[in-house]
Every structure is written in structure tokens, then in C-alpha cells.
Amino acid sequence: SKSVQGILALDPGFKAGIKCAVLESSGSVITFDTVNFMGGAREGGKRQLIDLLQKVKDMGDNEEVTVVLGNGHGTREARELVHEAADQCGIIIEVNLVSESGASVWSVTEMAGR
């Protein structure tokens, strides 16, 4: 049975960076992080994402890591970065876009609890 133990939620942004949260399937937040990737920060940002992906993968027995990405300003760049990070560390990810209108990415906790 496919049970999601952990989720990586990304709230994309440029100057403010990508807000990241590692969530349990119950919706409780394990860790928050901000990943900056503008200019020279890209490699460091990718390393941060690799750490976060690894953390989520270690929470469960799934081959895939579920990534929830807010759909808005900077989504394309955030998606590119998380895919590069995943490729680099050999983790398979499934990226789900959620609408950011009205609610923030953290509304994914409701989705996670289902």
C-alpha cells in the first residue's frame, strides 16, 4: 500500500527564497527552511534541497518522495531546482502543484492528513 509518510512542501519565491517545510502525513511540521537560489546561491540551495529530500525519504519506506509546490511567482524555477537536486542524489520525486490563491502552501497539510 502506498502510504505517504513525509512531504516536502515548497512555497516558491525569488528574493525571499523558497520557503520549505518537511511535513509528517498527519500535517505536523518537522522542519522549516528557506532555500536561496538567486545568483551564486544556486549550488548551496540545491544542497539544502538534497538534505530536505533525504530527510523526507528517510521518514518513509517509499521509493518516491512527494513534493508539493505552490503555484505562483517562481514556481518554474523552484520546480527546476528541486528536480536537479533529486537527480543529483538519485531520489525519485513526484511534484504536485497546489494553488496559492487565498491559501498558502501550508494548506497541503490538509491534503496530507487525508
CB 52 within 8 Å of CB 18: no
Kindly give the confidence (pLDDT) of every residue in the chain, 114 residues in length, as a single tens digit, with 9 standing for 90 and above.
456 689 999 999 998 999 999 998 888 899 999 999 998 999 999 999 999 999 999 998 878 999 999 998 899 999 999 999 999 999 999 999 988 654 455 555 555 544
Sign of the dihedral through C-alpha 29, 33, 34, 36: negative
Angular region, 9: left φ>0, alpha ψ -120 to 50, beta rest: beta
Which residue type sits at 107? Answer: S
Entry pTM: 0.84
Residue 5: all three cell numbers together: 509518510
CB 19 within 8 Å of CB 105: yes
Element (H, E) at 74: none
